[in-house]
């Protein structure tokens, strides 16, 4: 089908329609997961017109279908509140909430229209401080006005070298950032007010898992009762089978990919998130060490973004698989009704959904975290938990908590929808092949998920309760009641950080 676009076809109300309702009967007549194969072409009456559609996937016989249809017609129908008893939504694309070069706001190139004679070339050589070997794939960012994202950047080659242009009339570089390549096995580098020069040699420190990072500061000796049977779902880029992660399977819900391929898609984000929730190694422990994890890969191979349908299908699958807590370290701007309804379904089935607030640099809380059915989490940092000159130093601000070493990072979102805050600046965790550090609300979120697992393991009255909304509400209430203020404003930290398992 030429000039097509993907959409979600939904019941007229709710995530799943009853069998005896007309919209449910229509959806059931469309392709079932075992009938889809490579796609099934059919026609559908929508608003008095016949539309050619291709049913690509289904999350439930009488629930959301992933379809392809003519782009313009689909977008016109998606703007309407109802279409013949059904609803149509665009398949939106989600991002992870870790601070990395690929996710930073785009810098403005200051050199457009500048006479080449007025420009100089600055060369950078980035090496590993322990081995002296070059670091390939690091991103060097050179700012003359970082607040407005004005500057230039380049990636290092196999020799650890990168070059960028600079105005000769600017004698001082406001900020230099060196973002480590994936997986982030180094701390990177950060410097302010540096005299411009023809070349710089910068050695970046490898991550030592023995370093007391912000997570280990607040959780120096976490322990967890694995016999309790709590299960945490990680909806992310996939989780690699690293030592110390108790994985019990999962599902890949990405369009066109095998559903059994739930491991890492090459992006270390999901493995890092999983470790923060439940790693149990001699060197690193998550918030609930050894908790059973299930991986639901919603991000496509090669770093592709996650689509609404993939996340909706993963939420539905995680609930059906008996997961107690769903971790969503991802988001978009604005709202997304299909995912909101999937999250409401999870809550109705007794599962608690915990979502990263966003890395909007003082902007709004994103979706799905802003949804009232989610526990929305922002990130916290500590100045005494960051190595000198490490790249996460760029996120340190003057917005401090009651402890002067505690700060709200520059990337944090702000909003009344925030419920809790967790450690998330320079957090060390598992990555494919070792240990690495990342920052973002993506990192704070799984720490809170792990703490929720701690509460559920201790509160057998909640764990054994019928899987209804009363169960998820009880867990949510217990989690939030355990929180203490870190001395920040409510629209920065919500109710604060849960104290369960935390150091006093």
Q: 252 near 262, Cβ under 8 Å?
A: yes
Dihedral sign computed on CA atoms, order 259, 260, 265, 268? positive
3-state secondary structure 353-379: EEEECCCCCCCCCCECCCCCCEEEEEE
User: How far is 418 from 436, CA to CA, in rounded Å?
Assistant: 27
Parallel, antiparallel or unpaired: strands 119-128 and 161-167: antiparallel
Tokens describing residue 68: 């392809």
User: Helix or strand or coil: residue 189?
Assistant: strand
Integer CA distances (angstroms), 237 to 245, 260, 311, 480, in order: 15, 14, 11, 28
User: How far is 186 from 438, CA to CA, in rounded Å?
Assistant: 10
Give the active site residues.
Answer: 236, 269, 442
- CA terminus-to-terminus distance, the chain: 61
User: How far is 119 from 146, CA to CA, in rounded Å?
Assistant: 19
Q: 443 near 379, Cβ under 8 Å?
A: yes
Taking each helix axis as running N to C, give the angle between helix 269-278 and helix 441-458, from 0 to 180 degrees, rounded to the nearest 10: 30
Number of residues that this document lists for the chain = 504
Burial of 165 (0-12, 13-18, 19+ CB in 10 A): middle
Beta bridge partners, 95, equal 331
What's the half-sphere exposure (Cβ side, CA atoms, 13 Å) at 113? 1
């Amino acid at each position: 089908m030429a000039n097509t676009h993907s959409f979600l076809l939904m019941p007229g109300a709710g995530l799943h329609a009853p069998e005896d309702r007309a919209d449910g009967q229509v959806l059931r007549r469309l392709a079932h997961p075992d009938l889809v194969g490579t796609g099934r072409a059919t026609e559908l009456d929508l608003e008095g017109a016949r539309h050619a559609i291709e049913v690509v996937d289904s999350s439930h016989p009488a629930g959301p279908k992933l379809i392809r249809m003519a782009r313009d017609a689909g977008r016109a129908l998606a703007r309407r509140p109802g279409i013949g008893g059904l609803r149509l939504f665009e398949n939106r694309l989600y991002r992870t909430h870790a601070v990395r070069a690929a996710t930073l706001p785009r810098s403005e190139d200051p050199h457009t229209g500048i006479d080449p004679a007025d420009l100089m070339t600055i060369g950078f050589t980035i090496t590993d401080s322990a081995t002296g070997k070059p670091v390939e794939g690091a991103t060097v960012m050179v700012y003359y006005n970082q607040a407005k994202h004005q500057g230039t950047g380049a990636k290092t080659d196999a020799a650890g070298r990168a070059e960028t242009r600079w105005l000769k009339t600017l004698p001082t570089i406001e900020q230099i950032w060196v973002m480590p390549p994936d997986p982030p096995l180094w701390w990177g580098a950060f410097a302010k007010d540096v005299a411009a020069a023809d070349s710089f040699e910068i050695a970046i420190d490898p991550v030592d898992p023995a370093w007391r990072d912000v997570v280990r500061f607040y959780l120096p000796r976490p322990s967890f009762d694995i016999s309790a049977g709590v299960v945490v779902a990680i909806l992310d880029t996939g989780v690699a089978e690293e030592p110390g992660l108790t994985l019990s399977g999962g599902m890949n819900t990405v369009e066109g990919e095998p559903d059994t391929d739930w491991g890492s898609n090459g992006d270390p984000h999901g493995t890092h998130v999983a470790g923060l929730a439940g790693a149990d190694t001699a060197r690193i422990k998550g918030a609930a060490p050894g908790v059973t994890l299930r991986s639901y890969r919603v991000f496509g191979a090669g770093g592709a973004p996650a689509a609404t349908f993939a996340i909706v299908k993963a939420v539905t699958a995680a609930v059906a698989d008996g997961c107690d807590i769903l971790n969503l370290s991802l988001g978009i701007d604005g709202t997304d009704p299909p995912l909101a309804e999937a999250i409401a379904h999870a809550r109705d089935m007794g599962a608690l959904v915990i979502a990263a607030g966003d890395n909007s640099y003082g902007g709004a809380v994103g979706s799905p975290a802003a949804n009232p059915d989610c526990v929305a989490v922002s990130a916290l940092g500590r100045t005494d938990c960051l190595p000198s000159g490490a790249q996460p130093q760029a996120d340190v601000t003057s917005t401090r908590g009651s402890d002067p070493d505690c700060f709200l990072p520059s990337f944090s979102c702000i909003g009344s929808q925030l419920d809790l805050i967790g450690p998330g600046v320079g957090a060390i965790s598992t990555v494919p092949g070792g240990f690495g550090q990342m920052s973002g609300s993506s990192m704070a979120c799984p720490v809170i998920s792990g703490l929720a697992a701690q509460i559920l393991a201790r509160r057998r009255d909640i764990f054994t309760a019928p899987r209804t909304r009363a169960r998820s509400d009880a867990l949510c209430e217990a989690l939030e009641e355990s929180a203490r203020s870190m001395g920040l404003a409510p629209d920065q930290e919500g109710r604060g950080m849960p104290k369960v398992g935390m150091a006093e």
